[in-house]
Amino acid sequence: MKMLICDDDPMTMRALEFQFKKEGFEILKAMDGREASRILKETDDIDVMITDVFMPYVNGMELITYTRTILHRIFPIIIVSRVSVNDNVEQAMELGANAYIIKPINLDDISAKVNNLLNIKNE
């Protein structure tokens, strides 16, 4: 399974990378939305994406829009953010996110969410 993690916070990136490598995922990393967009364009076999909302160049909401409407990809997308404003959550879900998780991230919770979404996708 291949996962794209997009977050400009190095601590969050390391924690997520450690957790999901341990679970057997191949990890692709992007420190900003522009880099994530490039990876998405060049890589056809991504199974799941975790992205922050607030990143340089291209934010998480724009990244969801790019993934769903330009590239027409249907893999699960999980948003992670320090902001829990209802408007942000609602917008992310309307754009095509499958889950919205508030930082600080509980690694067991996000792992369960990823695995649940992948199980639903594969049913």
Q: What is the CATH number of the domain that holds 8?
A: 3.40.50.2300
Do residues 33 and 56 lie in contact, with contact meaning Cβ atoms separated by under 8 Å?
yes
- Structural contact between residues 96 and 7, judged by C-beta atoms closer than 8 angstroms: no
Burial classification of residue 120, based on how many CB atoms lie within 10 Å of its CB (0-12 exposed, 13-18 middle, 19 or more buried): exposed
The pair of three-digit structure tokens given for residue 110, joined into one six-digit string = 């996000």
- Structural domain that includes position 16: 2-121
* pLDDT score recorded for residue 46: 96
The per-residue pLDDT for range 97-115, each reduced to its tens digit, is 999 999 899 999 999 999 9
Looking at the structure of the chain, the number of domains it has is 1
Whole-number pLDDT of residue 87: 77
